[in-house]
Amino acid sequence: MVQTIKLVYSNFKYVVLASTIFVSMMIGLLILSEYIFLEPYVVAHLPSGSELGFLLIVLLSALSALVIPMNIFRISVLKSSKQKMGGGIFGSIIGTAAGACSCGPVGFAVISTFGSVGATATAFLTNYEIPIRIIAIAILIITYFTTVKSLKVECKLNP
């Protein structure tokens, strides 16, 4: 497992990519979930009872930053199928959507645009935000292990 990570991240390009994904995803999710406000002042705020939500955002961002570059490595260096990228992207997207659609601007825009269908979707994503994020993290963990396994086979790494 360590060998596989070393193989991918020995290339500085993938370290930069992982850092970019982690920072942009985490800051984006913290803004969407209203842990960070940009106006009228830049301020971070963690309301009591929302510690688990914050922890899940950090985990989701870290796993996305780990898994997505590994899959890009497989596609670009080893010319593997692009379909195998699906798990990482899917996990990241559903994890992101869970927090985005609440009573903030994104939820308001979705409901204003799609009416009752948007309201139903928003209510679902808001009510089940924590379980959806946990599922997204589980998908990313599974994707990580399958990626490591296939990299070992494709790169003929010693176990």
Partner 1 sequence: MNKKGVVIGVIIVAIIAGLAASYSSSPSETVNLDMGRTHGTISTAMGSPILGDTSAPLTIVEFGDYQCEQCYAWFHETKPAIVRDYIDTGKANLVFVDLAFLGRDSIPASMATYCAEDQGMYWEYHNILYNSQESIDNGWANSERLKAFAFSLDLDMELFESCLDSEKYSKRVQYNIQQAKANGVRGTPGFFIVGPNEQQQIGGAQPFSVFKQILDSMI
For residue 108, state whether it binds partner 1 (rule: CB under 8 A).
yes
Part of the chain binding partner 1 (CB under 8 A), chosen from 1-9, 68-76, 119-127, 135-143 = 119-127
- Chain mean position to CA 135: 11
Both tokens assigned to 8: 């991918």
DSSP 55: H
Torsion of CA 35, 93, 19, 71, to 10 degrees: 160
For residue 99, state whether it binds partner 1 (rule: CB under 8 A).
no
Is beta strand 36-37 parallel, antiparallel or unpaired with respect to 43-44?
A: antiparallel
Q: Which residue, 93 or 103, has its beta carbon nearer to partner 1?
A: 103
Q: Interface residues for partner 1 in 23-42 (CB under 8 A)?
A: 34, 37, 39-41
Dihedral class, residue 47 (left if φ above 0, else alpha if ψ from -120 to 50, else beta): beta
Part of the chain binding partner 1 (CB under 8 A), chosen from 15-23, 55-63, 108-116, 146-154 = 108-116
Which residues contact partner 1 (rule: CB under 8 A)?
A: 34, 37, 39-41, 43, 45, 47-48, 50, 102-109, 111-112, 119, 122-123, 126-127
